Chain A
Amino acid sequence: MRFPKTTSLGIRTPSLPHLSLVSISSVASTACTVAFWVLSVGAVLVPLAVVALKLLGWSLVTAGSGEDAIVIPLPWAYVLLVATAAFAYLSISALIFRLLIGIVVTLRMGDPFHPQNVRRLHQIAGAFASVTLGVWIGQFLVARFVRGAMETPDLFDLITPSFAVVILVVIAEVFREGARLRRESELTI
């Protein structure tokens, strides 16, 4: 298949220092592993914190400071809602990094177009979309039902994450084609 030639824009970019694939994938692997464990531990700590609050019998909170401070009962419905939202956010983010680790492992093995990477990229796109949408809906509900807590989020806030999801889906299709070419290459004797 021949692609049309594109004209040069005449823009010269400075040459970047060459980083070997091994060093980039090593850094990516370490970063993803650290992020995964931090998010996983955070996700585990959230329900433990709620249980600890309950066991310690913390039922009152102080709102305000100084002479204007008042003591009110701890709103458990809000606590559980916030804890559930935090747990979901941290868990899904940890899942995204877990999937990225799987992709980086295949990259370090020299087999990036493994068929499972297609599925992983689709799952990352889905997880990213659900996290973004979940956060937006959460902010919308808080702004709607808790007066003065925060401003109502704008629909335009979803545009950039939507681009990211579309880009991920396109990259997944590129990897699907790469997996097909890999298969063809394997079956070439």
Chain B
Amino acid sequence: MFLYYSEYVKKKRRHSNLIIRYLIVIFTVSLLAAIVYPTIISLKHPRCANSRSCQESLKFAVKKDAIAIFNNQRLAAPNIALTEKDTRPVVLGTDTNDEEKHIYVDLTSQTLYAFEGKELFMQTLISSGKWFPTPTGDFTIWVKLRSTRMSGGTGDDYYNLPNVPYVMFFYNQEVSKSTGFSLHGTYWHNNFGHPMSHGCVNMKTSDVAKLYDWANPVSDGLTTYSSDKNLGTKVTIYGEAPL
């Protein structure tokens, strides 16, 4: 009877040890998954370019006499003076050009080239991602906003930028629309030719105003989405930024 009981106890111990081992394995695998999976996901699908305003920044926004914060400095955000051209309706087929337009961004030289067919429309210096990399690949502009607000970062890196002018959001299968990467104007720094952004392509406001007018979808107001009848211009980003 005693032998029977001791064998029963041994069996139970072995069983509980086995359960503990299984639990340890499950815990370790879960921990690894919790660390590795988001990393893989973030590599494959970059997080939003502007961590605080990703949803908001995809909408048109203008604020009068607003204050911006960048690099721990407060500065006046220039007021957006909307003109008739910004809100005019467009008749497709008359304002569009049949020549294929293509924007190239060379991260290595921090230079943007805009071509219409074989003709160079623009060549200018830009600032790509410093605090978060600008994604590379082939993209399409899916929405143009005359102005929006962008904010993100924490601590010394916190930024809040109302009235960001001439914003052109681009996307592809790997970098979704909600990640909020764009080409846009810049009033808070002037260091073009050097990485300075949180992932977007920063341009001189005078340059991006011309590019915004030129690029598709053809602007049809303050917010213009691309469509089957009004396709967005292709954007190719390549090279490696000098970080």
Do A and B bind? no
